[in-house]
Structure 1
Amino acid sequence: MKLAIVTDSTAFLPERIQKHSDLFVIPIPVILDGKIYNEGIDIEAEEYYGLLKNSKEFPTTSQPALGEALELYESIAAKGYDTIISIHLSSGISGFVHNLHTIEEAIDGVKIVPYDSKITSMPMGHMVEAALDLADQGKSLEAILTHLDVIRDNTYAYLIIDDLNNLVRGGRLTNGAAAIAGLLKIKPILTFENGKIVLFEKIRSSKKAFNRAEEIIGQHKQEINRPLKLYVIHANNPEMALEEQKKLQERYPDVSVEIGYFGPVIGTHLGEKAIGLAISAQ
């Protein structure tokens, strides 16, 4: 088996695998003031948040065209690969990974496996990293997919959003949850449930919301009987990310806490200043 791993640009990839010869990344478009930017190619996170502050229109995102994915798969096949695992942004946020099933048998002699991460950003990047490492170790396709399932089934993320308007306007959170938040002047904790972003708990202040999220992460830490990874992910909010990293590291000193950021696509949905706390099985 010669295996390629495909992912999309919402994955936060560890530096050590970014140039891996078996890794291929599909950019996801962001539309800002009528201009299309391909995440990771035309625009990076730091530049994007600067443009976002001065944008006249509400930004939107779009799925990559299926034709682009098929062209990439064909180019991978031409390099001699016979197997592709395509790990993508949660189907609860984007229909892209679901649509890939329509072309999974399009290339003769190449097995294409679309894989719904049910998450995004750093935990999804960890899945990509794990798949590449296992392939380098000569593991079978079945063993790699089984391990990806273990990571996915033991990944939890909690989001503390500065402003819910982006999620509501983008259709990624129900208006009801936003209305409740506004009425009670609460700071909601959001989470992923079956790959969709939902309201987890209503908290009265940011400080209490962060404390509660840290506590929930600790509960999962006790439940997951495997080596773990902890993440702090931010949308142009590095100071708060560092603060949360320090707090989590002091609270859970036996697990290293990594910091990453939400790129333009996820930043569009969550809004600037959002913070995510996540835990994954290794």
Structure 2
Amino acid sequence: MIKIMADSTCDLSKKIVDKYNIGVAPLNIIISGTTYRDKIDIETDEFFKILPTLEELPTTSMPSPEEYLKIINKAIEDGYKEILCICMSSGTSGSYQSAVLAKDYFFENNPNSTVKIYVVDSLSMSHGSGWLILKSAMLLESGYSFDELIQFNENYKTKVKHFLCVDDLNNLIKSGRLTNASAFIGKLLRVKPIMSMKKGKGAIVAKERGRNRVLKFYVDEFIRRVDNKITDFVIIGYTSDMNIAKDLAEKIRLETDFKDEIYIMQMGAAVGTHVGLGGLSMFFVEKENLKDGLVKNEIRSIRNKKDELIEKIRG
């Protein structure tokens, strides 16, 4: 039997977590000196309601090794012999290192154990690791072995494409979740910045004016990048406004050939602390690691606008 574990930044819905019996180690959110366990001691909607009223930005801390050990020991008591733990990027949190410490501690105290434990550094944030976890659960259900699940995660973790747009970069800059270069650029921008992951950390790759242009960018990039052989579901994430997530899902259905599942899931308080209000994200597997960046996307945008103008003139 194989047990799948994660940390709470995977942001998978309770329905999915319960369906696949995924063990989740909660991050901690410290609000005005009080510590809350993500998704246990504070409801996500409640968190986003109080977030604008706080004088100081909440802080977060990784799950302790003890939190992971609780899940490992319970899994073994329940008869699991193989445990796959998929954590958020080591470039943005100590969650991965904490899981590795828990694994090492377990074997130090159980040197003769035949249990197998493998910890994946997903190099992803939020529903990026969530995508890998959900896909792993589906593959496990279809008959994948422990070694096959490990190989899948290591092969595809760098191909899970992230897009995240926020109304305000202040939370991400203050919490250090952006690269230094992107934080500097972000301070100069007066438009909606769009981020992706580069080497396990957030980086600005595009900027758009207004919600409609953001949605168009998401859909255009999805069409250009998606690996239809692997991507049999898309995850759209949001922080405080589900309607923009629904708008994106509808746009994908109307303007692309994608006919599989689109999950809409809210980001939890641990991720929402850094993203802030108005966050919109999308996750899928791309067919190849296409390079992107602010300059590249700006050039592509100019070319597209030129082509649109020419078409209008001709029409």
TM more than 0.5: yes
Aligned to 2:198: 193
Aligned to 2:225: 220
Aligned to 1:72: 71
Query: Secondary structure, in 3 states, of the residue corresponding to 1:19?
Result: helix
Aligned to 2:242: 238
Indicate how the Cα distance of structure 1 residues 213 and 37 shifts in structure 2: closer, same or farther if over 3 A, else same.
Answer: same
Q: CA deviation at 1:63?
A: 0.7
Point out 4+ residue stretches in structure 1 off by more than 6 angstroms. Answer: none
Which of the two has higher C-alpha Rg?
Answer: 2
Distance 2:88 2:225 in 1: 22
Distance 1:3 1:36 in 2: 32
Matches within 5 A, 1:271-282: 271-280=276-285
Q: CA deviation at 1:176?
A: 4.1
Q: CA deviation at 1:22?
A: 4.4
Unaligned segments of structure 2, at least 5 residues: 287-315
Distance 1:134 1:246 in 2: 27
Q: CA deviation at 1:260?
A: 1.3
Is the counterpart of residue 111 in structure 1 residue 116 in structure 2?
A: yes
Aligned to 1:6: 5
Aligned to 2:299: none
Q: CA deviation at 1:162?
A: 0.5
Distance 2:152 2:176 in 1: 32
Q: Are 1:229 and 1:280, in contact at CA under 8 Å, matched by a contact in 2? A: no
Instruction: Give the number of the structure whose residues are more often helix, by fraction.
Output: 2
Q: 2:275 aligns with which of 253, 256, 270?
A: 270
Q: Are 2:84 and 2:119, in contact at CA under 8 Å, matched by a contact in 1? A: yes
Aligned to 2:293: none
Q: Are 1:5 and 1:23, in contact at CA under 8 Å, matched by a contact in 2? A: yes
Q: For residues 82-141 of structure 1, give each alpha carbon's deviation from its aligned partner in whole angstroms, at most 9, with x where no partner exists.
A: 221111112222121133223424233122111122223334333223333333444321
Query: Secondary structure, in 3 states, of the residue corresponding to 1:127?
Result: helix
Q: Read off the aligned partner of 2:249 and give its amino acid letter.
A: Q
Query: Secondary structure, in 3 states, of the residue corresponding to 1:18?
Result: helix
Distance 2:214 2:161 in 1: 16
Number of aligned residue pairs: 280
Percent identity, please: 27
Distance 2:56 2:189 in 1: 28
Distance 1:137 1:47 in 2: 37
Q: Read off the aligned partner of 1:54 and give its amino acid letter.
A: T
Q: CA deviation at 1:36?
A: 0.9
Distance 2:268 2:120 in 1: 21
User: Scaled by the length of structure 2, what TM-score is found?
Assistant: 0.80
Q: 1:146 aligns with which of 136, 141, 151?
A: 151
User: Scaled by the length of structure 1, what TM-score is found?
Assistant: 0.88
Q: Read off the aligned partner of 1:47 and give its amino acid letter.
A: E
Distance 2:80 2:229 in 1: 35
Matches within 5 A, 1:165-204: 165-204=170-209
Indicate how the Cα distance of structure 1 residues 258 and 103 shifts in structure 2: closer, same or farther if over 3 A, else same.
Answer: closer
Q: For residues 251-279 of structure 1, give each alpha carbon's deviation from its aligned partner in whole angstroms, at most 9, with x where no partner exists.
A: 11433432111110111111111111222
Indicate how the Cα distance of structure 1 residues 119 and 174 shifts in structure 2: closer, same or farther if over 3 A, else same.
Answer: closer
Q: Are 1:123 and 1:280, in contact at CA under 8 Å, matched by a contact in 2? A: no
Unaligned segments of structure 1, at least 5 residues: none
Indicate how the Cα distance of structure 1 residues 213 and 103 shifts in structure 2: closer, same or farther if over 3 A, else same.
Answer: same
Q: Are 2:7 and 2:63, in contact at CA under 8 Å, matched by a contact in 1? A: no
Distance 1:127 1:141 in 2: 14
Indicate how the Cα distance of structure 1 residues 180 and 206 shifts in structure 2: closer, same or farther if over 3 A, else same.
Answer: farther
Distance 1:47 1:267 in 2: 12
Q: For structure 1, which segment, 51-60 or 263-272, has the greater mean C-alpha deviation from structure 2 after superposition? A: 51-60
Distance 1:118 1:240 in 2: 26
Q: For structure 1, which segment, 157-166 or 242-251, has the greater mean C-alpha deviation from structure 2 after superposition? A: 242-251
Q: CA deviation at 1:216?
A: 1.2
Query: Secondary structure, in 3 states, of the residue corresponding to 1:104?
Result: helix
Q: For residues 172-194 of structure 1, give each alpha carbon's deviation from its aligned partner in whole angstroms, at most 9, with x where no partner exists.
A: 11454334333342322110112
Q: Are 1:181 and 1:187, in contact at CA under 8 Å, matched by a contact in 2? A: no
Aligned to 1:62: 61
Is the counterpart of residue 121 in structure 1 residue 126 in structure 2?
A: yes
RMSD: 2.4
